Structure 1
Amino acid sequence: MEQLNLVQEWDKTFEKSDLVDHKKVTFPTRYGFTLAADMYIPKNTSGKLPAIAVCGPFGAVKEQCSGLYAQELAKRGYLTVAFDPSFTGESSGTPRYMASPDINTEDFQAAVDFLSVQENVDPERVGILGICGWGGLALNTACLDTRVKATVSMTMYDMTRVNANGYFDQGDNEEARFNNRKNLNAQRLEDYKNKEYKLGGGVVDPLPADAPDFLKDYHAYYKTPRGYHSRSLNSNGGWNVTGCMSFMNQPILRYSNEIRNAVLIIHGDKAHSYYFSKDAYKNMIENNKYKDNKELMTIPGAVHTDLYDNMKVIPFDKIDTFFQTYLK
């Protein structure tokens, strides 16, 4: 593994709990990247624990809401890790700020590898939880990794669908995709000539007067003390312009209706992204003889970012009950 220079002091966007122990860990992926993670261990426990790997949102870091989720679940008795994906945060991978549906699915599987060999973890009780774009990648991992006994997807995006079709599928036509491909390939050549990758920009700041509500919600999280972090792509310069190019041509969730293990999808009905979860759930249970352990939970009145860090809205009791039921 690559030797990473990890920050040891507490630099999260949430307060540290006295109910859990915390430490930094690293683990390798099948592609040779080294991932950095925060491990949260419930205090005063013994024996083999159930474990959960957490990641997301897409373009965030483990010091933001994935760490919040991991710590909260550790308070409830699970050993958890919140990790930075390849190319981002404290994890390895150059050039920086790239993404791949394959590599990022492997990131989750690598976390399952790591958790499964810990002395205080029961490898038969490992689950995953993905937030936003990592909600879709969590479902994609559940399609592939039979070791994952339970999967939770929070306020999910299907990153392949939004990259290929645009928001709300408004660009779901050949002409729009051709123009997008043409622009991305022109940018590739410019990057090659300039010997650097142009950044696409994170969350727009300052917000234009006519910004849609969901951009205002993103700004309120990523660009304010509530959720800003210096290593977060969304809080700063964003992904490379070509960073998510392959998502256009590699749809995930192709075999989601063959997932046998348990899945819980949670979304707010006021979220601009709600259609991703509704469609993913519909496709997952269609012609699936194992659909009885699948559930879509809708949170009335919740917008997309409410499920990032709003402790009054996130249904942790429901998530805990789900994991208790299927990680046993």
Structure 2
Amino acid sequence: MTKTFETYSNIQSQNIRFRNRFGIEVAGDLYLPVGYETQKNPAIVVSGPFGAVKEQVSGLYAQEFAKNGFVALAFDPSFTGESGGAVRNVAEPVMFTEDYSAAVDYFGTLPYVDRERIGAQAICGLSGMALTAAGADTRIKAVATTSMYDMSKSMYLGYRNGYTDEQRAKLREHVSQQRWVDVDNGASETGHYSSGYHELGFNADGCIVTGESLFPEKLPEDADPVSKAFFDYYCTPRGYHERSINSTAAWTATTPMSFYEFPLCHNIKDISPRPVLFVTGENAHSRYHSEEAYEAANEPKELLIVPNADHVDLYDQKDKIPFDKLVAFFTENLK
């Protein structure tokens, strides 16, 4: 299927493959600036949102970076899209973090990329993985996030960290019992695991709510504004892609367990003295994730709040995405 965004005729793209250190083949689209062959270029690794594919938001961002002189790579995280992994639609924080470093490895094999000038750009739910990778991998010289989610917090602590101890206990019990369901269904032999929400909710009676698809075919009239914004991107011609989990399916139902076990961004202070830029929308429901990460990070750091923008606006609305600021940030810090 074609990309969900307008492509530029003067920007060359190549579908590539590389392996992470666990042996999983990661699929990416490499975007090349005009004249890239004649010099050593700065490079940017791009991924996200959570459950999206490289033909959606990350590809749009990568192409814009290539337009501005960067070699840019948009990739599908392991187990998703065109990337490998025997079990499909698994989200795994350690593996997704590793994929960023594996992409840096790949850049290092290209004769036209300067190994000392590699940065990372993450969108939405892959932001926590990019920050965690940068905390350990000093080859990432600068990192920016847009519409950040910290998926460990979002899954385990709930919106604005609001889940109670009792609710978190229910989450742990639910996901633990789901493992027995998969055992009894022979999932380890077939590779077919039950699907479910990665962010489990609660109904009015306090019971956990889940489902086998993230979005219905038609959104109810009384749907909340956040669901409407996501649906308008992933489930309409604006951003639909057949390989996107968010457009067509759901994650494996046991996916949340790893995020309960391993907090992301625990090493965010270790990114310093390399710079971090957090970009979020003024009206984004996720804004607090960027604000909390900004407070936790050491200098140099910057928080940019985009006026009149919500979370999903920064996926594909070029009149709102501050590409000028992002390009300036990476230009300055990947000298």
* TM bracket, shorter-chain basis: over 0.9
Q: Deviations over 1:255-293 (max 9, x none)?
A: 2122121111100020000000000000113xxxxx1x2
Q: Deviations over 1:106-139 (max 9, x none)?
A: 0000001111221000000000100001112111
- Equivalent of 1:225, from 223, 226, 237? 237
CA distance in 2, matches of 1:250, 1:31: 18
Structure 1 residue 37 displacement after superposition: 0.3
Q: Deviations over 1:24-80 (max 9, x none)?
A: 110110111000000010123321000011000000000001000001110110001
- Give the CA RMSD over aligned residues: 1.1
- Equivalent of 2:252, from 240, 256, 278? 240
User: 1:1-328 alignment to 2 at 5 Å?
Assistant: 11-45=2-36, 46-171=38-163, 173-195=164-186, 196-200=192-196, 201-260=213-272, 261-285=274-298, 291=299, 293-328=300-335
So what's the TM-score if we normalise by structure 1?
A: 0.93
Contact 1:13 1:64 in 2 (8 A): yes
Query: Which letter maps to 2:221?
Result: A
Contact 1:116 1:126 in 2 (8 A): no
Query: Which letter maps to 2:34?
Result: K
Contact 1:24 1:39 in 2 (8 A): yes
Structure 2: where are the runs of 5+ without partners?
187-191, 197-212
CA distance in 2, matches of 1:237, 1:43: 37
Structure 1 runs (4+) greater than 4 angstroms displaced: none
Contact 1:157 1:276 in 2 (8 A): yes
Structure 1 residue 153 displacement after superposition: 0.5
CA distance in 2, matches of 1:205, 1:268: 28
Structure 1 residue 169 displacement after superposition: 1.8
Aligned residues with identical type, % of pairs: 45
CA distance in 2, matches of 1:158, 1:92: 24
Structure 1 residue 94 displacement after superposition: 1.7
CA distance in 2, matches of 1:72, 1:204: 32
Structure 1: where are the runs of 5+ without partners?
1-9, 286-290
Q: Deviations over 1:92-111 (max 9, x none)?
A: 00211111111110000000
CA 204–270 in structure 1, closer or farther in 2 if over 3 Å, else same: farther
So what's the TM-score if we normalise by structure 2?
A: 0.91
